[in-house]
Structures are given as structure tokens and as C-alpha cells.
A and B are shown apart, each in its own frame.
Chain A
Amino acid sequence: AQSVTQPDIHITVSEGASLELRCNYSYGATPYLFWYVQSPGQGLQLLLKYFSGDTLVQGIKGFEAEFKRSQSSFNLRKPSVHWSDAAEYFCAVVESGGSYIPTFGRGTSLIVHP
């Protein structure tokens, strides 16, 4: 069965430090890949998505993600974290040629220390 794994439940970084959030998936073909952010008490907001082409994708708020087919990964990165980035981050996958129902990872909670 298809699955999405975010191995880190919590990550703590200092403000100004770099960030990488991991996402791995298990699908037969290259799926459509997404990263969302959820601030406390709010709905999800799309950060970026990858369908095809350049494997390094730029998103909003200074985030980027890199698709690595050989590792079945789509890790999210930011070179310098701001306190306002503290939130829950979700990776989501949609199987290409399938029902277009997304499968979400369980999320990674980002804590930012001043």
C-alpha cells in the first residue's frame, strides 16, 4: 500500500539555523509531491509542489524541496529559520494516474528557539 513517512515527529532548531524536514514515500511511479504548513489553530497552507522537471522546487516563505527519485524522498529545506516558521509541516503524495486522493504524512512539529 502507498505510504508517506515523515520520520521526525519533532525538530528543534535555533533561529537563524538551517532546516531540513524529511519525507519518504512508497509508490511504484513518480507521484505528485506537496509540502504544507499548518500554524496552530489554522488550516493547511501549500508551501510548494513537484510534478515533474527540475528536481529542486522553490516555494513560498523561503522554502525549497528536492525530489530524489533514487531515495524516494522529497525533503524540505530552509537556509535560515525564523521564529515565525514554528508550525506543523506535512508532506503529501498523490499517485500519478490514480484517484488523485492525497496521502498525508503524520507531520513534523518544528520548534524554533530564539
Chain B
Amino acid sequence: DAGVIQSPRHEVTEMGQEVTLRCKPISGHDYLFWYRQTMMRGLELLIYFNNNVPIDDSGMPEDRFSAKMPNASFSTLKIQPSEPRDSAVYFCASSSQGVLGEQFFGPGTRLTVL
């Protein structure tokens, strides 16, 4: 198995632009998680899905952030409009064991908003 796949690996954009991050979970995993990692705030869970349905989005920082999971093999995290404080590494993870089970992380997308 290829593991969790994220694209792009690096994204540099200007303030105000729309940013879309993509994730392909491990096949057969029914939980998908989006995390953000920054120096200031550490690692934070933004949102997670079960069977393509958002279960908890309490970690989503603002309405500028949105996440979708149109099918079991694809999810997006969108920021519109982007701001410099959104600069971070965004991780996607998937699991077949629920929220308390082992999560398999992708390599992350490093986002820089100028």
C-alpha cells in the first residue's frame, strides 16, 4: 500500500488566494483526519470524517477553512481567502480503528502564505 498521499507537498501562495490541499487515505480506512502543525500552536486536529461524513469540525479555525470528503478515497481542505497566519504544515491521516486507533499520517503539505 502506498500509504496516505497528500498533494501538493509544498504550496506558496499570496494572501487572499484560494488554497486547496488534497488527501488520498489508505484504501479501506473509514476515518480521515486533517491536522495543522505550527511552531506557535503545535499540532491541532482540525476536522475528522467517518465514512465520508464530517464528525467533528470544532478545530476548524474560521469560516475561511472548509473540508470535504466526496468519496472514500479523496478529501480536500480549502482555505479561502488565505492569510499569512495560515502558513503551517497540514497533515492528513487515516485510520481503520476509529478515533482512538492507530492513525497513519501522510507526509504533509507545507503551506506558505506571503
Contact B42 A43 (CB under 8 A): no
Which of the residues B43, B99, B102, B104 comes within 8 Å of A90, measured between beta carbons?
Answer: B43
Q: In the complex, are the beta carbons of B58 and A43 less than 8 A apart?
A: no
Give Cα distance in the complex from A105 to B44, angstroms.
10
The docked-state distance in angstroms from the alpha carbon of A90 to that of B106 is 16
Set A32, A100, A106: member contacting B42, Cβ < 8 A: A106
Docked Cα-Cα span, A105 to B93, in Å, equals: 18
Count A/B pairs, Cβ under 8 Å.
45
Does B14 make an interface contact (CB < 8 A)?
A: no
**Docked CA distance A100–B58 (Å):** 11
A43 in contact with B93 given A90-B43, A106-B42 (CB within 8 Å): yes
Give the interface residue-count category, chain A.
Answer: 10 to 19
Question: Does any Cβ of B come within 8 Å of A45's Cβ?
Answer: yes
A44 within 8 A of B: yes
* Given known contacts A51-B100, A94-B99, A100-B100, A43 and B56 CB-to-CB distance under 8 angstroms: no
Contacts of A102 in B (CB 8 A): 45
For this complex, into which size category does the number of interface residues on chain B fall? 10 to 19
A41 close to B (CB within 8 Å): yes
Contact A43 B100 (CB under 8 A): no
- Residue-wise, chain B 8-32 has the 8 Å CB interface mask toward A (1 for contact) of 0000000000000000000000000
Binding site for A on B (CB under 8 A): 4, 42-45, 56, 58-59, 91, 93, 99-100, 102-108
CB-based closest 10 A-B pairs:
A43-B105, A104-B43, A100-B99, A46-B102, A44-B105, A106-B42, A43-B91, A43-B106, A101-B45, A104-B42
Can you offer 29 A-B residue contacts whose CB atoms are under 8 A?
A41-B107, A41-B108, A42-B107, A42-B108, A43-B4, A43-B91, A43-B104, A43-B106, A43-B107, A43-B108, A44-B91, A44-B93, A44-B103, A45-B105, A49-B102, A51-B100, A90-B43, A94-B99, A94-B100, A99-B58, A100-B56, A100-B99, A101-B58, A101-B59, A102-B45, A104-B42, A104-B43, A104-B44, A107-B42
